[in-house]
Amino acid sequence: MATSSFIHPSLGFILLALILPFLPGRQWKWLLLVPPVVALWSVFTVDPGVYAVLPYLGEQVTLGRVDGLSLIFAQVFAVMSLIGMVYALNVTDKGQHIAASLYVAGSFGSVFAGDYVSLFLFWELMSIGSTFLIFLNRNRASTLAGYRYFLYHTVGGLFLLGGLLLRYQATGTFAFDHILPSDAAYYDWLILAGFCVNAAVVPLHAWLPDAYPRATVAGAVFMCAFTTKTAVYVLARGFAGWEILITAGAVMAVYGVMQAIIANSARRVLAYDIISQVGYMAVGIGVGSALTMNGAASHAYAHILYKSLLFMSVGCVMTALGTDRLEKLGGLAERMPWVAVFFTVGAMSISGMPLFNGFVTKTMTIAGTAEAHFTWQALALEVATAGTFIAVGIRLPYFLFWRKRPEGAIATPPAPLPWNMYLGMALAAVLCIAQGVFPDMLYRYLPFPVEDPYEPWTAWHVLQALLLLGFAGLSVMLMKGVMTIRDGDNLDLDYFYRLIGKAVLALVCRPLAWIDDRWTEAYRAIGLRGLVMLGSASAWFDKKGIDGVVDGSAVTVLGIGRLGAKAQNGNLQDYLALAATLALILFGLVWYLG
């Protein structure tokens, strides 16, 4: 039954984004903490139900579908928004806070959306907000990466839009519910493709390791938490039991760690490992049993905490030393010891080490997948577990913190870090350990009831994890000389996207250039003569009568022209901000007038 007692968590973040530009001084920074606190209160006190059903464009849109599945994602989003805002308190650039707020609002909106119309609107809000978190790093590389990121997400959004409109045409409803694999129509595949872009399903993943390492320090912390996990939520909501996701997830899990093991910048290692970890969730959703669905949801929860902790730690290194390139870093354990401690907590968590939260969530998905007899996919997840430990549990902390500072590495003392960055990391680290030691903290919120609940803390599960991780570690020790750091980057499948882009450009440009050449010739031969005659006639007419009338309007036109010139400055970021603002105004007008 619809009631009005649900405070939608997006509301606070949107309000914050709207008022922030007008607040003077610097004390507005404390306001950043208000929307996360309201969101926490809202998601931990709300009763399941359907809230905020509103008429829009002649349809009913549901902004507040609150049930077990949406709540567990909303809870971790609320926790993460608080951690992220604490970590970002020292950031003076209001633009970053506005972008982050709109982005988080989009995530909450997507999670509580009960229909495709509101889902799409919030989905696009996320896309715009996150794009600005890349642009606002304010360098050439981030501008280009932001543009590519926006292109990928626009394509993904168009898949979703096409799918939902065609679905509406066929079924007469925008309701966003589970789709049985046996009932799948072509439009459902389009929607799935749209979701898979955001989930970074290989081969649609290349935007992630391209963009995240180029976002702002705090922006990457937000981005690593929300985009892919919102996609995991919508996949769990709409596409549970779609077996294609099992294989796709297994490929993601292994591909991600293979790239992570050889990546040369810390944030790129972490970015590739997101693909790997989301792979576990995709497998869990594809299997679709209560155990694996709970595994996917709980792993998303744990992943948000430990991955944000890792991004925060690397963000501290970047803030203190100005880079995350591994060849320029090393020996930081004694120079930034607390950052090393927090990083280690994140690294142990992501590896699934007992006592840390990855252990109680990752193993649930693998056990459920094996129990459902998807043996090879479960084995692939075990391979990815070993690979994750090698990439993030050993290689990254070794090159950043534990090796002696190599020649050529930055020797200057790290710049001091503000207290709030430490507090943000401490909050995430405490939760990573608490959930690992007391898994019921997390399990009590799992959305699907199971007959035989998963028990992570058995002697065998602990021993299995220690054996797998310990001997994977031994393999690295035996091959220490093989693992290296180099200048440069490694190619990914965006190499092929770019080839396609170049081919399309050539296909469009060549005919256009030909037409342009011909037109110029024709213009020279015919047009100019005609224009000269027209010009003489106009001059006569102008002198005789128009001068007086036109002078006044010329001033107006000049003014408009100047305004237009200001707006048309060639900066894609500004066009996007203008378009987003206009879209929000239109959205509001349609709502109000409709």
Partner 1 sequence: MSSLGAVFERLRELHKVWRLLFVAVLVALVGLNVVIRPDEAHFGWDATPGFFAGFGLVVGGLLVLIVEKVIRPLIARKEDFYGDI
> What is the binding site for partner 1 (CB under 8 A)?
140, 144, 257-258, 261-262, 333-335, 337-338, 340-341, 367, 370-371, 375, 378-379, 382-383, 386-387, 390, 402, 404, 459-460, 463-464, 466-479, 482-484, 486-492, 498, 501
Query: Min. distance of Cβ 391 from partner 1 in angstroms?
Result: 9
Beta strand 2-3 pairing with 49-56: parallel
Min separation Cβ 483 and partner 1, Å: 6
For the bound state, the minimum distance from the C-beta of residue 186 to partner 1, rounded and expressed in Å, comes to 33
Q: Report whether 54 contacts 432 (CB < 8 A).
A: no
SS3 state of residue 60: strand
If DSSP codes are grouped into helix, strand and coil, which group holds residue 263? coil
CB of 262 to partner 1, least distance (A): 5
Tokens of 506: 């050539």
Q: How far is the CB of 471 from partner 1 (least distance, A)?
A: 3
Residue number with CB closer to partner 1 (474 or 512): 474
Q: Which is nearer to partner 1, 33 or 423 (CB)?
A: 423
Alpha-carbon distances of 441 from 178, 302, 309, 383, 434, rounded to whole Å: 28, 11, 19, 28, 8
Shortest gap between Cβ of 201 and partner 1 (angstroms)?
Answer: 20
The residue among 51 and 389 lying less far from partner 1, judged by its C-beta, is 389
Cα–Cα distance for residue pair 331/343, rounded to 1 Å: 14
Shortest Cβ distance from residue 413 to partner 1 (Å)? 10
| Shortest distance in whole angstroms from residue 281 CB to partner 1 | 20
Round to whole Å and give the CA distance between 316 and 321: 8
Sequence-distant (6+) residues with CB within 8 A of 355 are 348, 433, 436, 437
How large is the angle between the packed helices 9-19 and 34-45, nearest 10 degrees? 170
Structure tokens at 322: 């100005």
- Measured from the CB atom, the residue of 218 and 386 that comes closer to partner 1 is 386
CA 368/CA 284 separation, integer angstroms: 8
Q: How far is the CB of 386 from partner 1 (least distance, A)?
A: 5
Nearer to partner 1, 477 or 549 (CB): 477
**For the chain, how far is it from start to end, CA to CA, in angstroms?**
24
Q: Is 61:118 a contact under the CB 8 Å cutoff?
A: yes
Question: CB of 416: closest distance to partner 1 in angstroms?
Answer: 12
Give how far Cα 28 sits from Cα of 14, 37, 92, 298, 324, Å: 15, 16, 10, 34, 30
CA–chain centroid gap for 58, Å, is 32
Whether the Cβ atoms of residue 298 and residue 442 lie closer than 8 Å to each other? yes
Which of 491/555 has CB closer to partner 1?
491
Name the minimum Å distance from CB 580 to partner 1.
24
Least distance (Å) between residue 325 CB and partner 1 = 9
Beta carbon of residue 268, minimum distance to partner 1 (angstroms, whole number): 11
Whether 273 and 352 have beta carbons less than 8 Å apart is answered as no
Tokens standing for 562? 């100047």
Shortest CB 308 distance to partner 1, Å? 23
Nearer to partner 1, 16 or 336 (CB): 336
Which C-beta is closer to partner 1: that of 7 or that of 391?
Answer: 391
User: Closer to partner 1 at the Cβ: 484 or 538?
Assistant: 484
Q: How many CB atoms lie within 10 A of CB 482?
A: 8
Least Cβ distance, residue 516 to partner 1 (angstroms) = 23
Give the H/E segment covering residue 64: strand 59-66
Nearer residue to partner 1 within complex by CB, 235 or 400: 400
Considering the complex, state which of residue 48 and residue 501 has its C-beta at the smaller distance from partner 1: 501
CA distance 117 to 168: 10
Do 73 and 300 form a contact (C-beta atoms < 8 A)?
Answer: yes
Alpha helices (runs of H) in 288-389, residue ranges in sequence order: 290-321, 337-351, 357-371, 375-388
The b-or-e profile of 333-369 (16+ CB within 10 A means b, else e) is beebeebbebbbbbbbbbbbbbebbbbbbbbbbbbbb
Q: Are 385 and 468 in contact (CB under 8 A)?
A: yes
Q: Which is nearer to partner 1, 79 or 283 (CB)?
A: 283
DSSP secondary structure string, 274-313?
HHHHHHHHHHHHHH--HHHHHHHHHHHHHHHHHHHHHHHH
Residues shown for the chain: 594
Q: Is the Cβ of residue 140 or residue 543 nearer to partner 1 in the bound state?
A: 140
Pick 303 or 461: Cβ nearer partner 1:
461
Residue 250 token pair: 């297994």
452 versus 547: smaller Cβ distance to partner 1: 452
